[in-house]
Chains A and B, each alone.
Chain A
Amino acid sequence: MNRIDQRFSELKQQGRKALIPYITAGDPAPQYTVGFMHALVEAGADVIELGVPFSDPMADGPVIQKACERALKQGTRLVDLLEMVAEFRQADTTTPVVLMGYLNPIERIGYEVFADQAAKVGVDGVLVVDMPPEEADEFGPLLKARGLAAIFLVAPTTSHARAATICAHGEGYLYYVSLKGVTGAATLNAEDVAEHLAPLRDMTDLPLCVGFGIRDGVTAAEVAKVADGVIVGSALVNRIADSVDAPETIAGQLKSVLAEMRTAMDA
Chain B
Amino acid sequence: MTVSVTETKFSDLTRMPDARGHYGPYGGRFVSETLSFALEELEQIYLSLRDDPDFQAEFDRDLAYYVGRPSPLYHAKRWSDSLGGAQIWLKREDLNHTGAHKVNNTIGQALLAKKTGKPRVIAETGAGQHGVATATVAARLGLECDVYMGAADVQRQKLNVYRMRLLGARVIPVESGTRTLKDAMNEALRDWVTNVDNTFYIIGTVAGPHPYPQLVRDFNAVVGREARRQSLEQIGRLPDALVACVGGGSNALGLFYPFVEDDAVAMYGVEAGGDGVETGRHAAPLTSNAPRGVLHGNRTYLMSDEAGQVSDTHSISAGLDYPGVGPEHALWKDVGRVNYVAANDKEVLEAFRELTHMEGIMPALESAHALAHAKVLAPTMRPDQHIVVNLSGRGDKDIMTVAKIDGIEF
How distant is the Cα of A182 from the Cα of B29 in the complex, in angstroms?
A: 18
Interface segment out of the listed B128-136, B214-222, B290-298, B359-367: B290-298
Q: Contact at A157–B177, with CB atoms within 8 Å?
A: no
Beyond A56-B295, A104-B304, A109-B308, whether A138 also contacts B1 by CB under 8 A is yes
Q: Contact at A135–B36, with CB atoms within 8 Å?
A: no
- The tally of CB-CB contacts under 8 A between chains A and B is 123
Size category of the B interface is 35 or more
How distant is the Cα of A151 from the Cα of B40 in the complex, in angstroms?
A: 22
Q: With an 8 A cutoff between CB atoms, is B65 at the interface? A: no
Q: With an 8 A cutoff between CB atoms, is A225 at the interface? A: no
Q: Contact at B308–A159, with CB atoms within 8 Å?
A: no
Q: With an 8 A cutoff between CB atoms, is B302 at the interface? A: yes
Q: With an 8 A cutoff between CB atoms, is B279 at the interface? A: no
Q: Mark B55-90, 1 if CB is under 8 A from A, else 0.
A: 000000000000000000000000000000000000
Q: Contact at B308–A105, with CB atoms within 8 Å?
A: yes
Q: Which of A106, A129, A152 meets B308, CB within 8 Å?
A: A106
Task: Give min CB distance, B193 to chain A, whole Å.
Answer: 6
Closest to A79 in B: B307
Residues A143-199 near B (CB distance < 8 A):
152-159, 162, 166, 177, 180-182, 185
Q: Contact at A155–B197, with CB atoms within 8 Å?
A: no
Q: Contact at B308–A61, with CB atoms within 8 Å?
A: no
Q: Contact at B309–A131, with CB atoms within 8 Å?
A: no
Task: Give min CB distance, A38 to chain B, whole Å.
Answer: 25
Beyond A56-B182, A58-B296, A138-B2, whether A158 also contacts B36 by CB under 8 A is yes
Q: Contact at B33–A177, with CB atoms within 8 Å?
A: yes
Q: Which of B34, B176, B292, B296 meets A155, CB within 8 Å?
A: B34
Q: With an 8 A cutoff between CB atoms, is A65 at the interface? A: yes
Residues B181-199 near A (CB distance < 8 A):
182-183, 186, 189-190, 193-197
Q: Which of B20, B292, B307 meets A105, CB within 8 Å?
A: B307
Q: With an 8 A cutoff between CB atoms, is A107 at the interface? A: yes
Q: Contact at B308–A78, with CB atoms within 8 Å?
A: yes
Q: With an 8 A cutoff between CB atoms, is B37 at the interface? A: yes
Residues B255-305 near A (CB distance < 8 A):
291-297, 299, 302, 304
Q: With an 8 A cutoff between CB atoms, is A249 at the interface? A: no
Q: Which of B1, B34, B36, B294 meets A180, CB within 8 Å?
A: B34
How distant is the Cα of A180 from the Cα of B190 in the complex, in angstroms?
A: 10
Instruction: List chain B residues, Cβ under 8 A from A56.
Output: 177, 182-183, 186, 295-296, 310
Q: 30 A–B contact pairs at CB < 8 A? A: A55-B304, A56-B186, A56-B295, A72-B309, A78-B308, A104-B294, A105-B309, A106-B308, A107-B292, A108-B308, A109-B308, A130-B30, A130-B31, A130-B297, A132-B29, A135-B28, A135-B30, A138-B2, A155-B37, A156-B34, A157-B34, A157-B196, A158-B36, A162-B40, A177-B32, A180-B193, A180-B195, A180-B197, A182-B190, A185-B194
Supply 14 further A-B pairs (C-beta < 8 A) apart from A104-B308, A130-B32, A155-B34.
A56-B177, A58-B186, A59-B190, A104-B304, A104-B310, A105-B308, A108-B304, A130-B31, A132-B33, A155-B33, A157-B34, A159-B37, A180-B195, A180-B197
Give the interface of B toward A (CB within 8 A). Answer: 1-2, 20, 28-38, 40, 176-177, 182-183, 186, 189-190, 193-197, 291-297, 299, 302, 304, 306-310
Q: When A and B form their complex, which 9 residue pairs have the shortest distance between CB atoms, in order from nearest?
A: A105-B308, A108-B308, A77-B307, A153-B33, A155-B34, A181-B194, A157-B37, A59-B32, A55-B309
Give the interface of A toward B (CB within 8 A). Answer: 54-61, 65, 72, 77-79, 102-109, 129-132, 134-135, 138, 152-159, 162, 166, 177, 180-182, 185
